[in-house]
Amino acid sequence: MTTRRHTLQRLMLTGAATAATTWPPLTASAADRYPDHPVKVMVALPAGGGVDMIARLVGQKLAAETGQPFIVDNRAGASGRIGLPVVAKAAPDGYTLTVSPASFLTTNVSIFKALPYDPQADFAPITKLADQSMVLVVYDRLKFPTAAAVLAAAKAKPEALTYASSGDGSPQHLAGLMFESRMKVRMVHVPYKGGALAINDLLGGNVDLLFAPLPEALPHIKAGKLSALAILGEKRSPLIAEVPTMRESGIDNMVMATWIGLLAPAKTPRPVIDQLNRQVRAILQSPEVKAQLRDAGMDVAPTTPEQFQQTIAQETRLHADLVKASGLVPQ
């Protein structure tokens, strides 16, 4: 474990500078032909959530542009530890990609004692796709009319409140850990195999609350099935402008967002990475896609591969500090 941590620390320090030197050469003719057969896009979460949605949207646009199918393959469970190893071990030829939430790349290394993949060494970042606000939602608005009421209930009865997540180490889980450690309360974490399943159990009244990525909760908020109590951001979301921030609700130091990114196996040739980066960034900047994602609660956030590598390294350190501060023991 010590050797593994030293390896991760070295990789985070070298960051994009070393990543840029790991791609093998690719002939111009081979790069020109890419892709010449279907591309698999692994999503290590169930269908129906925000990550799956943007994977399918970008995949459809890439298919229309290249003439080759980009097929989404959902392999959910174990907080990414089922799907991501498949990508890590795939041939580095551009025909296996993954659309991943931040947590599988940044938080899992602190949550779990061992992983079947190395978030830093096994993947070649292509581009960040989108940023997502997070929102505190409940089913029973009478019981929890405000975020302050949730905090009061958590303080009154330690480990009485339950909060759902899409799995250990997920953004929902990380937000719950942040709430517990910074507000000095204890709640019970209930992990699921994906955000849609967590929301379904919240809708069924089986858990008390959820810190959800806005795209996953927004349809249920708009339908009146879930109540949004507070945004975990510096400012309100224009999509639910009536919902205050946590700070406006009297709860300070609770700011969190999450992102979704596109990656390939490590050592995927640089010309393929660059081609995908150009194509996807153009797709994300199109007015149609920007509007579609904005309506779903996402903000497009295209980057260079190097910028994305730096984001992963920086947030890995930040999330490690948060997990340590929470007192959570790695599983």
Nearest to 128 by CA among 310, 314, 323: 310
Question: Given this model, what pLDDT does residue 28 score?
Answer: 52
Q: Residue 38 corresponds to which tokens in the numbers above? A: 């279907």
Question: Given this model, what pLDDT does residue 33 score?
Answer: 87
Please determine, for residue 7, whether its predicted confidence score (pLDDT) is greater than 70.
no
- For 281-301, what is each residue's pLDDT tens digit? 999 999 999 999 999 889 999
DSSP three-state, residue 85? helix
Please determine, for residue 68, whether its predicted confidence score (pLDDT) is greater than 60.
yes
- For 202-257, what is each residue's pLDDT tens digit? 999 999 999 999 988 999 999 999 999 999 999 999 999 999 999 999 999 999 98
End-to-end, the C-alpha distance of the chain in Å comes to 13
Question: Given this model, what pLDDT does residue 31 score?
Answer: 61
Average pLDDT over residues 9-14: 35
Q: What residue type is assigned to position 108 of the chain?
A: N
Q: Where are the domains of the chain?
A: 2-131+258-326, 133-240
Q: For 198-258, give the DSSP string.
A: HHHHHHTTSSSEEEEEHHHHHHHHHTTSSEEEEESSSS--GGGTTSPBTTTTT--S---EE
Confidence of residue 147 (pLDDT cuts 50, 70, 90): very high
Contact 107, 168 (CB under 8 A): no
Separation of CA 200 from chain center: 19
Question: Given this model, what pLDDT does residue 176 score?
Answer: 94
Question: Given this model, what pLDDT does residue 324 score?
Answer: 86
244-to-196, 212, 238 alpha-carbon distances in Å: 24, 15, 11
79 vs 189, residue with greater confidence: 189
Average pLDDT over residues 305-321: 93
Average pLDDT over residues 61-90: 96
CATH architecture of 133-240: 3-Layer(aba) Sandwich (3.40)
Question: Given this model, what pLDDT does residue 79 score?
Answer: 86
Contact 297, 213 (CB under 8 A): yes
Please determine, for residue 3, whether its predicted confidence score (pLDDT) is greater than 80.
no
Q: Which ranges of 22-170 does DSSP label H, i.e. alpha helix?
A: 28-33, 50-66, 84-88, 102-106, 108-111, 147-156
- Mean pLDDT, the chain, integer: 89
Please determine, for residue 108, whether its predicted confidence score (pLDDT) is greater than 70.
yes
23 vs 11, residue with greater confidence: 23
* Extended strands (E) in 12-144: 39-43, 70-74, 96-101, 123-138
What is d(CA 148, CA 246) in angstroms, rounded to the nearest whole number?
A: 9
- For 14-30, what is each residue's pLDDT tens digit? 333 333 334 444 455 55
DSSP three-state, residue 185? coil
Residue 141 backbone zone (phi > 0: left; psi -120 to 50: alpha; other: beta): alpha
Question: Given this model, what pLDDT does residue 13 score?
Answer: 35
- For 77-86, what is each residue's pLDDT tens digit? 888 999 999 9
Please determine, for residue 190, whether its predicted confidence score (pLDDT) is greater than 70.
yes
What is d(CA 169, CA 90) in angstroms, rounded to the nearest whole number?
A: 24
Least confident stretch, 7-16, 41-50, 100-109: 7-16
Confidence of residue 168 (pLDDT cuts 50, 70, 90): confident
Within 10 A of 58 (CB to CB), how many other CB atoms are there? 27
Q: pLDDT > 90: what percent of the chain?
A: 75
Please determine, for residue 62, whether its predicted confidence score (pLDDT) is greater than 80.
yes
Q: Residue 164 corresponds to which tokens in the numbers above? A: 């759902």
CATH top class, domain 2-131+258-326: alpha beta
Average pLDDT over residues 165-180: 90
Please determine, for residue 5, whether its predicted confidence score (pLDDT) is greater than 50.
no
29 vs 148, residue with greater confidence: 148
Question: Given this model, what pLDDT does residue 29 score?
Answer: 55
Please determine, for residue 8, whether its predicted confidence score (pLDDT) is greater than 60.
no
Please determine, for residue 123, whether its predicted confidence score (pLDDT) is greater than 80.
yes
